[in-house]
Structure 1
Amino acid sequence: MTQDPSAPILLFDSGVGGLTVLDALRRELPDAPVIYAADNAGLPYGTKSEAQIAARVSGLLGRMTERLRPRLVCIACNTASTIALASVREVLEVPIVGTVPAIKPAAAMTKTGVIGLLGTQATIRQSYVDRLEHEFAQGKRLIRHGAPELVEAAEARLRGQPVDPRLIQRAVDGLRMQPDGDRIDTVVLACTHFPLLTQELGDLLGSVQFIDGAAGIARRVAYLTAGQGFSRSKPDMALFTSAEDIAALAPALAQRGLCETAIF
């Protein structure tokens, strides 16, 4: 079947962290029509149970895919991907690209052999992360810390609100105060929100390298849509599951070409 050139790529996240993935996707596929969907009514995902996240993500993406007819779905959320990716692939008939912690490239980058991983509580406890560590970081030390406060800080940043420095300090202390924490030279940002705070984290962590999955995700989407035509029949848009507190996001959304918003 010939792909409709105006069929969008659907980027899904719990909030607006996935905009960091959209930034990378724009660099790879500037002409691709995009719908950005944020389940802000369900935010934060990181404090929910696996069963709650799997049911919510599968249900929402099922309804969104049926209504929006995307050519591909990108789950631009580490928590949702590590928990719900398999179940979503079972119920949807479009290509699905997930987001997983960038442990493999971090293991290749580290010089000290000690890697920090910042994510949500739900992400860092997943067996999926255990498998990535076993497969790609053998002989290295992976120090994990759940930092839900960084989601709050990143959401504030995109709304033009001040970032509470205490939130950044708590996340940094959570890594540095663990055994070998002082030897961390590479930090995996295992939440799509967290790259929005690289400056603040770097100021406190010092000379560390940060790695996240956005560029790799964008390359994967480009690979899966290679040869397809792209044509915008209408402006790209952002969907939210709640109307609460989205007005302040308008400048950040418009900056990324998302000039229309709607509630799903």
Structure 2
Amino acid sequence: MDADAPILFFDSGVGGLSVLAPTRELLPNAPIIYAADSAGFPYGKRSEAEIASRVPALLGRLVERFHPRLAVIACNTASTIALDHVRSALDLPVVGTVPAIKPAAKISQTRVIGVLGTEATVRQPYVENLAADFAADCTIIRHGSPELVELAEAKLAGEEVSTEAVRAAAQAMFDASSGESIDTVVLACTHFPLLDAELRAAFPDVSYVDGGPGIARRIAQLTRGQVWPNDRPSGLAVFTGAVGRPLESALARYGLDEVLTL
């Protein structure tokens, strides 16, 4: 394995940074390519057919250009719809991101769990299957919030995001039948951990679970024994279209010092 071969992270926007951050902690010298499909953002409002065709084709182009050692689909929507298609198309390990229902079920005391994601993610049979396999004794309340995705993007760009706006974007989940008993919320969109402080302020009496740390451990496991550069290299952020917001300083905090638009 070439020491300079990067790990490729892919998301529709900047949400995958919540997966990149714990990966950086475990693999500080890993070369990173972070690809955001800004031309296709947001995925949560796109059809399953669009995502199933778009994601494998785009990842194929990125792999051909950057020759990564491993690809990470750091997006719940893309993973729940297109992960199998991507794995069939690419000749390298691919790590997906799926709602962390299993760990949520381990900690819930009330056995009522909220799954907070995009509209496309929460309606997927994949979520039903996870619930049946790992939380069969729990009531699962799903809520899709495109507003939270936009708020996370705005926050990363340095815009002020209020607790009230975050509360309004997720309140319907708690207003649903049995919603008052939710004690654990699965952040089933990688954008949402970027709003951790605001979510905890808006809904302080619940526990929040996301898949980022577990995905980072999986990446470290798959690359165990591989060679890395001696020093931490600069990371590259790649956007498929216009960025729309000034993100350079925020990306630099995640070690992404270069920005490229395809």
Q: CA deviation at 1:68?
A: 0.6
Residue aligning to 2:240: 241
Q: CA deviation at 1:222?
A: 0.5
Instruction: Say whether 1:257 aligns with 2:255.
Output: yes
CA RMSD of aligned residues (A): 1.3
CA distance in 1, matches of 2:44, 2:104: 22
CA distance in 2, matches of 1:109, 1:198: 18
Q: CA deviation at 1:25?
A: 0.3
Cα–Cα, structure 1 residues 253 and 244, in superposed 2: closer, same or farther, change >3 Å?
closer
Residue aligning to 2:152: 154
Partner SS for 1:42: coil
Q: CA deviation at 1:136?
A: 0.2
Q: Is 1:172–1:205's contact at 8 Å kept on the other side of the alignment? A: no
Question: What residue identity is the alignment partner of 2:81?
Answer: I
Question: What residue identity is the alignment partner of 1:181?
Answer: G
Question: What residue identity is the alignment partner of 2:70?
Answer: L
CA distance in 2, matches of 1:81, 1:32: 23
Q: CA deviation at 1:169?
A: 2.3
- Give the total of aligned pairs: 261
CA distance in 2, matches of 1:46, 1:243: 19
Q: CA deviation at 1:172?
A: 2.7
Instruction: Say whether 1:180 aligns with 2:160.
Output: no
Q: Is 1:153–1:164's contact at 8 Å kept on the other side of the alignment? A: no
Q: CA deviation at 1:165?
A: 4.6
Residue aligning to 1:225: 223
CA distance in 2, matches of 1:239, 1:111: 42
What TM-score, normalized by structure 2, do the two folds share?
Answer: 0.97
CA distance in 2, matches of 1:36, 1:59: 17
CA distance in 1, matches of 2:218, 2:49: 28
Q: CA deviation at 1:256?
A: 1.1
Superposed, 1:66-77 pairs within 5 Å as 66-77=64-75
Q: CA deviation at 1:174?
A: 1.3
Q: CA deviation at 1:164?
A: 5.0
Give CA-to-partner distance per residue, 1:108-160, whole Å, 9 cap, x none: 01011111110001000101111000000011111100011000000000000
Range with greater deviation from structure 2 (32-41 or 159-168): 159-168
CA distance in 2, matches of 1:151, 1:200: 13
What are structure 2's unaligned runs of at least 5 residues? Answer: none
Residue aligning to 1:132: 130
Q: Is 2:167–2:203's contact at 8 Å kept on the other side of the alignment? A: no
CA distance in 2, matches of 1:26, 1:142: 32
Residue aligning to 1:54: 52
Question: What residue identity is the alignment partner of 1:235?
Answer: S
Question: What residue identity is the alignment partner of 1:33?
Answer: P
Residue aligning to 1:31: 29
Match of 2:109 among 108, 111, 116: 111
Residue aligning to 1:206: 204
